[in-house]
Structure 1
């Protein structure tokens, strides 16, 4: 079996090759713990290009042992205390679930309040394929520089099981480029589940143009390409 993490890292390395632009890469690792069900991990990788092109790769997200890749474009509005962005996407999945998807990511910040939503419609490519609609939304408040809390909800509509709504609560801890979110859905039910995540984000600074022309054939001037 091809090692999917290696493919993802090569893809992101190619997309993030040095240039005169600014880009961002985010890695997310979620761990799902549910009583009576096997442990599941869900790695997610995001790539945001300076020209607003967007890519997202997932594993174990649409279904266990399933790899998915989404491509889209970011549209955003940035004000002094207000930031809003949405990303329409198209994607496909291989593995236990084989199908095509459309998706929409929405993020909004107003002072210390924030809202995010991730929605998708996925349909199997089988002759009599199933389909499902999924949404994960959350609203929170960043009370401290390193701590936030809020509420979250997952909604799934499946052709077979119908509608399933899972409300929950969340807390999170932020340290520089690292964030540790903790979720519990249906906390007062016997079927409660927990999701613990670790996210890391890197932003490539824009390279400075050379201060003087570079003569063809001469070595280029040394330019710092620090990332934080």
Structure 2
């Protein structure tokens, strides 16, 4: 009985030594970012939700009401990150589009950071399965300056199909603020032109 106890204690000790000596595997780390874009446009209102998930080089994304109303798109991409004074994240993607519009889309997202300046741009070429006449180039770009870590302002331009005007490119001003993992940004588009509208964007990282 005593020998069995000693053997058990010895085995437990050996296992503990090996457990301490072996490096612990890093747990999988995901980064999530949820957005809700509220479009307040003349005689209309709609919400464009967007969800992003990143794990190291892998980038996943889901959008609704982006390529068209009542249309969902799912994306997969690869993150290239680097830089020193100029930090960059470049993500080529491929998306599938289903709903009122059906097709596929190669896309690209780019973020450049230099000191307190940030350029973010995303674009895609939507390829419709039904007709080549429905092919469309989508784009969205923000150029901002951050005087503090929680405040930023700048200019923005976008080209999306869900809201089109006489202007080929919707352009405007933006200002945003961050509180912990929350960000709130207000866009004022087409000021001084026809069909001005407001976009309120809310996002949370977790």
Q: What are the within-5 Å matches in structure 2 for residues 52-91 of structure 1?
A: 52-79=57-84, 81-91=85-95
Higher Cα radius of gyration = 2
Alignment CA distance shift 1:83-1:128 (3 Å): closer
Classify the secondary structure of the residue corresponding to 1:97. Answer: coil
d(CA) in 2 for partners of 1:188, 1:128? 34
d(CA) in 1 for partners of 2:195, 2:67? 20
1:35 matched to 2:42? The reply is yes
Alignment CA distance shift 1:201-1:156 (3 Å): closer
Q: Between Structure 1 and Structure 2, which shows a larger proportion of helix residues?
A: 2
| Number of aligned residue pairs | 178
Q: Corresponding residue for 2:33?
A: 26
1:169 matched to 2:173? The reply is yes
Alignment CA distance shift 1:200-1:117 (3 Å): same
The RMSD of aligned alpha carbons is: 1.9
Deviation at 1:111, TM superposition (A): 1.0
Q: Corresponding residue for 1:122?
A: 126
d(CA) in 1 for partners of 2:81, 2:34? 21
TM-score (normalizing by structure 1): 0.73
Q: Aligned to 2:54, which of 26, 41, 48?
A: 48
Q: Corresponding residue for 1:101?
A: 105
Q: Does the Cα contact within 8 Å between 1:156 and 1:164 map onto a contact in 2?
A: no
Classify the secondary structure of the residue corresponding to 2:169. Answer: strand
Q: Aligned to 2:115, which of 111, 117, 120?
A: 111
d(CA) in 2 for partners of 1:184, 1:102? 28
TM-score (normalizing by structure 2): 0.81
Q: Does the Cα contact within 8 Å between 1:155 and 1:163 map onto a contact in 2?
A: no
d(CA) in 1 for partners of 2:116, 2:37? 24
Q: Corresponding residue for 2:5?
A: none
Unaligned runs of 5+ in 1: 1-18, 203-228
d(CA) in 2 for partners of 1:166, 1:127? 25
Runs of 4+ aligned residues of structure 1 deviating over 3 Å after TM superposition are none
